[in-house]
Structure 1
Amino acid sequence: MKPMKPIILTLIGKDKPGLVESLAQKVYSLGGNWLSSNFSYMAGHFAGFVEVDIPEDNHQILIDYLHKHPHLTIHSVSADVDANQKSDIVEIDIMGNDKPGIVQELTSTLSRFNINIVKFESSCQSAPNWGSLLFKAHAIVAIPEGFHLDELSDALENIANDLVVDVDLR
């Protein structure tokens, strides 16, 4: 059996049916295993990333195959995980009137506490009762072991008076 090694692929391009299926078929045909992925459709484009465990000898074959795809821009990196780093996973939900700078203020606060963002999703939605756009964000972050969540909650709530912040330890 060939030694397996994870690879992470970032994909972006004009959307068309069958892109993910084509990638899944190629990964399978090269003896790989699909570990995790996140894909989105935005303004007519497909964007996402996928982590696959595939024989190291087949990494370049997969990358070359994807570079030949006329609709995609590809970036790849080897997946290296620091197994010694200990952290708790925390979910943060933020909601409030949209205004410029919310994401910058949020990420600046997390950075100040040396907190790593594991996943981040945000959107603006019409909020007729509020008279403006409603900003919503959901973040999953890694909190260093021994960190006090109260400090983070206080700092996030101080970002703006009109934001509702919910921090939950998982």
Structure 2
Amino acid sequence: MTVLAPDRTGIVKSISETIAAHGGNWLESRMARLAGQFAGIVRVECSEAEVEGLMADLEALEGLAIQTRRESLAGEEHHDFIHLDVVGNDRPGIVRQLSAAIASVGANLEDLHTQLESAPMAGHPLFHATVTVSLPPDVSPGALTQSIETLGEDLAVTVLD
């Protein structure tokens, strides 16, 4: 499910209580507060008999825009995961360029966290991204980093453990 709302105390509490009331299990989530807004993605498991009621009760929660979707349990192809740290001068379109470089080698963007930081001593804005990418079996980490580094000499790409 996805959750969007103006941030306030108790959002996660309301969602988790609704899930528990239907015997559901909170499997994984990503949540953040950004510019006064709350946004989250949550995976939940529950019995087939409770699915429809759980989805209806979640979507009816007051003040929250919740969208639910049933997940397919089909097996996924195995991929290796690589974690990257990307730093460079900020510029319009940098996320578009970064995502295109990742896609160009057939990799999939799994997690992306971006922020602007002040450059040491110079003070101009630096783009900083922490990225998790899934690589198909035939793509090396080196091919991925090389693709990203072609975006500009100012970008530093570090493979994290």
Deviation, structure 1 residue 77: 1.7
User: Does residue 55 of structure 2 align to residue 63 of structure 1?
Assistant: yes
Which of 150, 156, 159 is 2:142 aligned to? Answer: 150
Question: What is the CA deviation profile of residues 98-146 of structure 1, one whole-angstrom value per residue up to 9, with x for unaligned ones?
Answer: 1111111110011111111111111112335233112110111110113
Deviation, structure 1 residue 82: 4.5
Residue aligning to 1:77? 69
User: Does residue 156 of structure 2 align to residue 164 of structure 1?
Assistant: yes
Amino acid at match of 1:137: A
Contact 1:97 1:130 in 2 (8 A): no
User: Does residue 2 of structure 2 align to residue 21 of structure 1?
Assistant: no
Give 4+ residue runs of structure 1 displaced > 4 Å after superposition: none
Q: How many corresponding residue pairs? A: 161
Amino acid at match of 1:69: L
1:92 is paired with a residue whose SS is: strand
Residue aligning to 1:5? none
Contact 2:59 2:67 in 1 (8 A): no
1:159 is paired with a residue whose SS is: coil
2:61 is paired with a residue whose SS is: coil
Deviation, structure 1 residue 61: 1.6
Which of 30, 45, 69 is 2:22 aligned to? Answer: 30
User: Does residue 132 of structure 2 align to residue 132 of structure 1?
Assistant: no
TM norm structure 1 = 0.87
For 1:149 and 1:15, the matched residues in 2 are separated by 38
For 2:74 and 2:128, the matched residues in 1 are separated by 31
Change beyond 3 A, Cα 1:130–1:163: farther
Percent of aligned pairs with the same residue?
Answer: 30
* RMSD (Å) for aligned C-alpha atoms: 1.6
Residue aligning to 1:113? 105
Change beyond 3 A, Cα 1:81–1:101: farther
Contact 1:11 1:49 in 2 (8 A): yes
Unmatched segments (≥5 aa) in structure 1: 1-8
Contact 2:59 2:68 in 1 (8 A): no
Question: What is the CA deviation profile of residues 3-58 of structure 1, one whole-angstrom value per residue up to 9, with x for unaligned ones?
Answer: xxxxxx10001111111011111111211111001111111111011101111222
TM norm structure 2 = 0.91
Unmatched segments (≥5 aa) in structure 2: none
Which of 81, 93, 102 is 1:89 aligned to? Answer: 81
